[in-house]
Amino acid sequence: MKILAVYPGSFDPVTNGHLDIIMRGSRLFDEIVVAILRNPEKKAMFSLRERERVLARATAGIANVKVDSFEGLLVDYARKRGARVIVRGLRALSDFEYEYQMALMNRRLDSEIETVFMMPNEAYSYLSSRLVKEVVGLGGSVSGLVPPDVERQLGMRIGNGPASGKRTRKARKGGRR
């Protein structure tokens, strides 16, 4: 029997830590659906369309990865897709409490669906979408931490241009106001 997994999240924006988990999941499961939460109440920096496009491009080389979006209860979506597994990344102990609560609540809602925690490469253990936005907003570089598409979009949106880190150093030296 084929095992289909769902990897849900906000992905606002996707980081290389997320992509690391997707890659690991793709080796473990027959198919992994990256499911972006559609939440009109939560103001995202990137539109759903942008997040879908970036994720689709970043995972284009992995045959058993699909990108989709969902709203409502995750377990309802997983059931509808025929997925028996929810994948979540665990970076550090600090993630555990929230993830544990979610996993047990999801189990209570549907005992047939298992949550599987996966650890990203330790190089990404400190990486989060929130920090990425903060660093770019303050003029730092996130090169190597997010896909090139995301780096470019972040630079345009909240940094000082496509290569925000470099430009900002110049700006600090007085080359730009």
- Catalytic positions: 18, 42, 91, 129
Q: What angle do CA 10, 66, 70 make, to 5 degrees?
A: 40
Q: Does 113 bind ligand PNS (CB under 6 A)?
A: no
Question: Is 106 within 8 Å of 75 (Cβ atoms)?
Answer: yes
Is 8 or 159 the residue whose CB approaches ligand PNS more closely?
A: 8
Q: Which amino acid, residue 137?
A: G
Region of 2-10, 51-59, 159-167, 168-176 interacting with ligand PNS (CB under 6 A): 2-10
d(CA 159, CA 105): 38
Q: Which amino acid, residue 42?
A: K
CB 86 to ligand PNS: min, Å: 8
Question: Is 86 within 8 Å of 46 (Cβ atoms)?
Answer: no
Q: Does 102 bind ligand PNS (CB under 6 A)?
A: yes
CB 94 to ligand PNS: min, Å: 13
Is 9 or 159 the residue whose CB approaches ligand PNS more closely?
A: 9
Question: Is 10 within 8 Å of 128 (Cβ atoms)?
Answer: no
Comparing every residue's Cβ against ligand PNS, the nearest one is 9
Peptide bond into 13 cis (omega under 30): yes
CB 69 to ligand PNS: min, Å: 10
Given 55, 74, 87, 132, the residue binding ligand PNS (CB under 6 A): 74
Region of 5-13, 130-138, 147-155, 168-176 interacting with ligand PNS (CB under 6 A): 5-13
Question: Is 176 within 8 Å of 160 (Cβ atoms)?
Answer: yes
List, in order, residues 6 or more apart from 159 with CB less than 8 Å away.
Answer: 136, 137, 139, 165, 167, 168
Number of residues that bind ligand PNS (CB under 6 A): 9
Residues that bind ligand PNS (CB under 6 A): 8-10, 37, 73-74, 102, 105-106
